[in-house]
Amino acid sequence: MTQDALQRLIPSLRARTLAWWLAIEDALPGGRGRRSLWSALIVLVMAVLVTLVWLAGRYEASQLQAELERDTANAVSDLRTQLSRHVQALQGLQSSHPSEAFWTLEAQSLLRENRDMLRIEWRDPALNLNMMADSLLRSPVFERVRRSEALNEAQQACLRAKRSSGPSYSHSYFLPQTDGLGMEVMDMCLPNTQDGVLVGFTVVTYGLQELINARLGVGYGRRNEISFTEPDGTRLAIWGNQSRGLRLFTAQQLVDLPGNTLVLRMDGRRGEPDLFPNVLTALVTAMSIALVTVMVLLAKDSRRRLKAENDLAEALAFRKAMEDSLMTGLRARDLEGRITYVNPAFCQMVGLPAEQLTGRNAPMPYWPPEMVDEYKQRQAIRLAGNAPPREGFESMFIRADGTRFEVLIIEAPLISVQGLQTGWMGAVIDISEQRRIEELSRASQERLQATARLATVGEMASLLSHELNQPLAAIASYANGSLNLLRDPAASPQNMDDVHMALRRIAEQAGRAGKVINSVHDFVRRRDQAREAVAPQALVDAIAPLVNLQARKLQVKVHTRIESKLPQVMCDRTMVEQVLLNLARNGMQAMDQPGNLERVLVLQVRRAASSAEHGWVEFSVSDVGAGIAEDVVGQLFTPFFTTKPEGMGLGLSLCRTVVEQHGGHLGFEPLLPRGTVFRFTLPAVHLDKIAA
């Protein structure tokens, strides 16, 4: 763009800027916004004037930097071109089959024409040296260090060249020289193939310093400092020097060679750029930046306002969605009692649309007709300022279809943003379903109680029928014996004594049956049984007649073993006697099998042997029956489980319950070689407790 064109563009830009500024000023409300914009404009103009010089210098510096980068790129291109020519010359050397003298002569000619070549070698496919030629322009490069010691990089390059069938360059390496200095060199390996068969390699050693001097120093080293560097910045070779006091510009380019990559760095020092040549361009650029900045600020302000509006709309939509999804009815009233808001749940609850409810005052269409006066009085009290109860109050509403339902109303003052009360906000909860569930629960509880009473009656009847079998059987036996004695015409006075004894036994068993009925009644109703201190001998003696009566019937020998000086036990005497009697009867019935000639039942009472049961008395009943089967063990104490055809399955269950109510434990174990032992414990009573 020419200077005349820029001068024509400036007035139009000024006009557009003024128009934009006026539009912005009109858009902002109040004088404060205008003053802020004018202050921003003054600051912006001052900033533009201050930055004009800096922008001009930056532009000139960018031009110089671009020039240096172009020189660096051209130098890299020239270097690659020259190295490609070297490869072509070496390929021409490989194309013929010269003698050793001719090869040496041609190699020396290449070394003289190219000062950057320090040595040319001809090696066989195994990299053994066949011929070589050193440059005559300087001392041999491998004069101090033998070639065999620095052959590793060349070997690696030849391997890469063999794989790629083209030239390959090695990484640079340092070679010390005889003058006490050294140089960085690199090898280039070119494979020689004839008729597709590898016949050898041509290896050229380049000096990096000579490469810069011969190829780049003349054309690019007059004003610049040229160097080969490693990626970390270490300089391998350098050419040229720099003037002091000038500004430094640096450019780098990669010299991408097959197998190796060098970094070519070019440093140039230039004078400071002039001030005035680019001021006009900088001014136009600054004004454009200012306009763009103002537009960006306006766009940001518009985006902020739009974002605030969107956030507000989303918040309102979210609140509306929450209110619509609530199952609780919401109702807002003003200070006069008129409805100002209802949510969909409230409308659905009363069966009326929001249009028919909003703005209505007492009486409300959902009030029952007979309760209108009561509800009006309650609303008047509320509007008078009396706060409603926090837990709410119950009320009765009527739907549009005439059905009535109970509700729980919780109201609170409606406070505005300014902190003033503008009405009342109420939450209305339909509790009709809750009341129905409570009624069903109450009826179900009554049915459960009736069922429990029936179960208690059944349990008591079952236990009575089970426990009364023994005293009733004993009464029947004594009665039959007495009748037999009385029917004997030759009855003697001794027989009459037996009749009297049998009648006493009948009376005793009848009394025992009454005690059993009372004990079972208290046991079923879970009452505290009347417990007393009883000697273990008395418990065994009380059941001895019934045990002996059944033992004679089943031909069982009964042995009683009671340890001396046993303490008394605290128990319900009747129930414990029933436990002993049940266990003894079960033991005798277990031995009532054909072929069982040894029928012995042992009743034993002793102190508990376990240290954990110190202060307890142990009762045991042993038999020599067939024992308890494995499949019966797990269900032995289950109520109504029995292995006897005439049994009810309540005996052992009752025994365990009675013992556990006394705090003891009932268990069993096999008796070797055959039989079973049932043991239970009762708490012993100390003498000092008896005296008390």
The DSSP string of 270-285 is EPPPPSSTTHHHHHHH
The dihedral formed by the CA atoms of 108, 111, 113 and 117, expressed in degrees to the nearest 10: 170
User: Quick check: do 326-430 and 529-691 share a fold?
Assistant: no
SS3 95: helix
Do 424 and 412 touch, CB atoms closer than 8 A?
yes
**Helix or strand holding residue 496 (H, E):** helix 493-524
Task: Please report the pLDDT score of residue 42 as a whole number.
Answer: 61
| pLDDT of 446 over the 60 cut | yes
At the topology level, CATH places domain 529-691 in Heat Shock Protein 90 (3.30.565)
* CATH topology (fold) of 98-270: Beta-Lactamase (3.30.450)
Confidence of residue 321 (pLDDT cuts 50, 70, 90): confident
| 53 or 310, higher pLDDT | 310
CATH 3.30.450.20 fits 326-430, yes or no: yes
| pLDDT digit string, tens, across residues 46-55 | 666 556 556 6
**Highest mean pLDDT of the ranges 218-227, 350-359, 532-541:** 532-541
Tell me which of 254 and 26 has the higher pLDDT. Answer: 254
Close Cβ partners of 639 (under 8 Å, ≥ 6 residues apart): 649, 650, 653
pLDDT-derived band at 469 (thresholds 50, 70, 90) equals: low
User: Could you tell me the residue ranges of all domains in the chain?
Assistant: 98-270, 326-430, 439-527, 529-691
Do 466 and 650 meet the contact criterion of CB atoms below 8 Å apart? yes
SS3 string, 13-49, reads HHHHHHHHHHHHHHHCCHHHHHHHHHHHHHHHHHHHH
* pLDDT recorded at residue 3: 41
Task: Provide the token pair at 408.
Answer: 């729980």
pLDDT at 473: 67
**Which distant-in-sequence residues (6+ apart) come within 8 Å of 400 by Cβ?**
350, 351, 352, 365
Burial code of 562-572, b = ≥16 C-beta within 10 A, e = fewer?
beeeebbbbbb
User: Looking at the predicted structure, is the pLDDT value of residue 151 above 80?
Assistant: yes
Give the closest residue to 235 by CA, choosing from 258, 274, 263.
263
Mean pLDDT of 378-383: 77
The reported pLDDT for the residue numbered 569 is: 92
Backbone angles phi, psi at 421, to 5 degrees: -80, 125
How many residues make up the chain in this entry?
692
Whole-prediction pTM: 0.37
CA torsion angle for 23, 27, 30, 34 (degrees, to 10)? -40
Which of the two residues, 503 and 524, has the higher pLDDT score? 503
Instruction: Give the pLDDT of residue 204.
Output: 92
Q: What is the mean pLDDT of residues 103-121?
A: 88
Name the band, by pLDDT with cuts 50, 70 and 90, for residue 548.
Answer: confident
Q: Residue 687: which pLDDT band, with cuts at 50, 70 and 90?
A: very low
Report pLDDT digits (tens) over 157-194: 899 988 988 899 988 888 888 877 888 899 999 998 88
| CB 186 within 8 Å of CB 173 | yes
Q: What is the mean pLDDT of the chain?
A: 77
Residue 151's φ and ψ, nearest 5 degrees, are: -95, -5
pLDDT single digits (tens) 575-612: 888 889 889 888 888 888 877 778 899 999 998 876 55
Q: How many CA atoms lie within 13 A of 515 on its CB side?
A: 17
pLDDT digits over 606-659, tens only?
988 765 557 899 999 999 888 888 878 777 777 766 766 566 666 787 788 888
- pLDDT, residue 603, reads 92
